[in-house]
Structure 1
Amino acid sequence: MKITGYRSLATVHDWGRPIGDANGVLAGGLTDLPVLLLETDGGLTGVGLGQHADIERVFPAVENEDPRAVTALYDRMLASVFKSGHGGATFGAIAAVDMALWDLKAKMAGEPLWRTLGARDRVVPGYASALCMGLDDEQLAAEYGRWAQRGFTSAKIKGGRDIDADIRRLKLVEEILKANTSRPAMMLDVNETWSLKQAIRHISEIERQMDLTWIEEPLRRWDAEGHARISRAVKAAVATGENLTGLEQFAPLFEAGAVDVVQTGSVWGITHFLRVAAAAHAHNLPVSPVAFSANPVAHAAAATPNMLSIEVQSFDMPLGLTVDQVIEEGALVLGDSPGLGIEVDEAAIRANRLNGDWTKPEGPHVRPLRAGLRLAPERRA
């Protein structure tokens, strides 16, 4: 079987509520999701999710190749762009192709990807994460109440702008999850919006009032020395890495002792996750993939020995996608459908007239001008 072409679609994920973080909030809660369909001469189609604007640059590296050679083709794609670099949009395109290749490999074997990758158990432990910066306290409680009903015992909230509000909201969600455990695991994600000393002051204040499992992305993604200083100064684990594109970008964090929970962005693909997870395992560190629509990296997470917990953000799937997985008992439970278990209704997607707004200037993907430069809380909730 050979790879012969590709098709691109664009669907939307309707969250049904505001979503956002310390960088910004999307009140409409509607985001775009690009879908890549990798075609073969054998009648099978591979599904890859995520931004792939640079697909024309990387596709020649896999055209007419056997899709079962996934990791070799991944390196072939990297090699094809090495002069100009593989970061950003290019890495996203490589990731989408990589995801589709793994989907094809498992489909050719007639089994779910978690089986192909050697997992013994289809159940992937998770934690609740509602992208909740745009919710008031009442809405926050209602949202995490839904997660408690699904058996979750750990949760992450968004914060970083108002330490008093962060503590109040962490305690609020903690109390809700006590329906399932006496000591819920609570995490705070500030999405790179603090300075070093601000981070240490704020985390220390939280720890005077409650147990914090981890602090996520307290500083800019490349600041290995700063993350190491935070890790030494506080009890909470430092979690970071979701925005790093390539295994080599994790090396400074490992060398500096700057990361306690190694994160990878699910949007960066399956091979990237597997390689980072292996490197983390060599450093005796747990790995935790950051969420993405349809949770495709969960299959790889199921086969990873140092897997801690996967971020789960939504019970709903994007328009036109049916995914063979369920969320229950605080976990993702993967099904038996071949490949990633993602079915694409192309007619429904093509008929869609909605547009997401993930990259609007007020949204969480655009860094505010004063991020990391605030002396006092910007607002009080």
Structure 2
Amino acid sequence: MSIITTATALLADIAVETDRTDAVQAFVKQETILVQITTADGLQGTGYAYTIGTGGTSVLSLLQEHLLPLLVGEDARNVEALWQRLFATTRATTTGAITSLALAAVDTAVWDLRCKRAGEPLWRLAGGHRREVPVYDTEGGWLHLGTDDLVKSALAAQQAGWAGVKIKVGKPHVFEDAERLRAVREAVGPSLHIMTDANQSQTISSALQLAAALEPYDPYWLEEPMPADDLSGHARLARSTRIPVAVGESMYSIMQFRNYLEAGAASIVQVDAARIGGITPWLKVAHMAESHNVMVCPHFLMELHVSLVAAVPNGKFVEYIPQLRAVTRSEMTVRDGVALAPDEPGIGIDWDMDAIDNRRVS
């Protein structure tokens, strides 16, 4: 009864809810790739992945032309076997974003089926460490926002009991970044965490200067200071600053995380379930980080990541960037600064398929 009978995919464009800019790009739109898998007993699982402006049609093509036909006739309960089979057929295009995103869309659908068949929510079936997860805000910290706006948003998050706020860095002059951080720190005091994110905009020399300029204001971490390929640069920076270095949103394989952890180049792991290839490899990275005594604070996808962070003991924070409200019937619950992982069977996202069809890309 758990045999897969149909597997389909579609692409929908979801407009951003607010202007989002960082040191290297703007969030243009969320190209959302959805996969729906149905089994012989009529159970249906829905999974997804995303890009932020380009590449969605390439992911869709890989799914429709190569991966989805391989699922029909397979047992949906065999999560690892399915992931490994699809990965094996794409070895010529790994490691890379297009393949990982396609695998993620399938894998999250398979996990949705797995949870529904078990009658359990994702956070429990994936580990069940706790249901409540602290939240930090990114929406009030984009690079184009002025200092007054940064302060206002940080104070609002603090008043709401949130754990922290993220401020984008990477202004033309390092003193501008330092002044923005100084203003927020002086406004909120020492208790609120302030995360900083350079979005891979720095060289090793500028990253060293940036870290030195930000250190007096006690940032909780410095995220993606340099391109993700620069393992040695991140290791050098981590040895040179007391600010924890956070990486992971631009990594697409388990081995990349292993190399960073073994080199001491990552103090916080920000593994993204879509970009790593789904829930199956996400959990492996999280447990590997746990073996290095490193916490996991995933990038984006709060509607999915709240359940994964709740599943593992080293899950620390969920990043608040709402993006699915236009295509779901409900949204992530946040109370007194903590997010609640959905308790319904499945991955916890209540899709509005009519709203998705209205945004469908032919």
Provide the TM-score with structure 2 as the length reference.
Answer: 0.87
Q: Shift in Å at residue 175 of structure 1?
A: 4.8
Counterpart CA distance in 1 for 2:5 and 2:155 is 47
Q: Shift in Å at residue 221 of structure 1?
A: 0.4
Q: 1:240/1:55 Cα in 2 relative to 1: closer, same or farther (>3 Å)? A: same
Q: Which residue of 1 aligns with 2:314?
A: 306
Q: Which residue of 2 aligns with 1:168?
A: 179
Q: Which residue of 2 aligns with 1:335?
A: 342
Counterpart CA distance in 1 for 2:93 and 2:238 is 34
The one-letter code matched in structure 2 to 1:223 is D
Bigger proportion of residues as helix: 2
Q: Which residue of 1 aligns with 2:295?
A: 286
**Within-5 A mapping of 1:48-197:** 48-51=47-50, 52-53=59-60, 54-56=62-64, 57-130=66-139, 132-161=142-171, 162-175=173-186, 177-178=188-189, 182-197=190-205
The one-letter code matched in structure 1 to 2:221 is W
Q: Shift in Å at residue 199 of structure 1?
A: 0.6
Q: Shift in Å at residue 295 of structure 1?
A: 2.2
Equivalent residue in structure 1 for 2:283, among 274, 290, 295: 274
Give the match's secondary structure for 1:202. Answer: helix
Q: Which residue of 1 aligns with 2:8?
A: 7
The answer to whether the 8 Å contact 2:247/2:269 transfers is yes
Q: 1:96/1:176 Cα in 2 relative to 1: closer, same or farther (>3 Å)? A: farther
Q: Shift in Å at residue 216 of structure 1?
A: 0.7
Q: Which residue of 1 aligns with 2:53?
A: none
Q: Shift in Å at residue 144 of structure 1?
A: 3.7
Gaps of 5+ in 2: 51-58
Counterpart CA distance in 1 for 2:148 and 2:265 is 36
Q: Which residue of 2 aligns with 1:35?
A: 34
Between the two proteins, what is the percent identity of the paired residues? Answer: 32
Deviations 1:113-136 (A, max 9, x none): 112123142112222112612322
Greater mean deviation of Cα atoms: 226-235 or 341-350: 341-350
Q: Which residue of 1 aligns with 2:272?
A: 265
The answer to whether the 8 Å contact 1:265/1:291 transfers is yes
Q: 1:104/1:151 Cα in 2 relative to 1: closer, same or farther (>3 Å)? A: same
Q: Which residue of 2 aligns with 1:369?
A: none
Gaps of 5+ in 1: 356-381
RMSD over aligned CA atoms reads 2.3
Q: Shift in Å at residue 38 of structure 1?
A: 2.0
Q: 1:94/1:16 Cα in 2 relative to 1: closer, same or farther (>3 Å)? A: closer
Counterpart CA distance in 2 for 1:90 and 1:65 is 20
The answer to whether the 8 Å contact 1:33/1:318 transfers is no
Q: Which residue of 2 aligns with 1:376?
A: none
Counterpart CA distance in 1 for 2:339 and 2:205 is 37
The one-letter code matched in structure 2 to 1:169 is R
Q: 1:323/1:120 Cα in 2 relative to 1: closer, same or farther (>3 Å)? A: farther
Q: Shift in Å at residue 44 of structure 1?
A: 2.0
Q: 1:205/1:334 Cα in 2 relative to 1: closer, same or farther (>3 Å)? A: same
Q: 1:149/1:313 Cα in 2 relative to 1: closer, same or farther (>3 Å)? A: farther
Q: 1:333/1:139 Cα in 2 relative to 1: closer, same or farther (>3 Å)? A: same
Provide the TM-score with structure 1 as the length reference.
Answer: 0.83
The one-letter code matched in structure 2 to 1:40 is T
The one-letter code matched in structure 1 to 2:149 is Q
Counterpart CA distance in 2 for 1:329 and 1:125 is 9
Counterpart CA distance in 2 for 1:100 and 1:87 is 20
**Within-5 A mapping of 1:342-353:** 342-352=349-359
Aligned length: 346
Q: Shift in Å at residue 324 of structure 1?
A: 5.8
Greater mean deviation of Cα atoms: 79-88 or 141-150: 141-150
The one-letter code matched in structure 2 to 1:6 is A
Q: Which residue of 1 aligns with 2:45?
A: 46
The one-letter code matched in structure 1 to 2:220 is T
Q: 1:150/1:63 Cα in 2 relative to 1: closer, same or farther (>3 Å)? A: farther
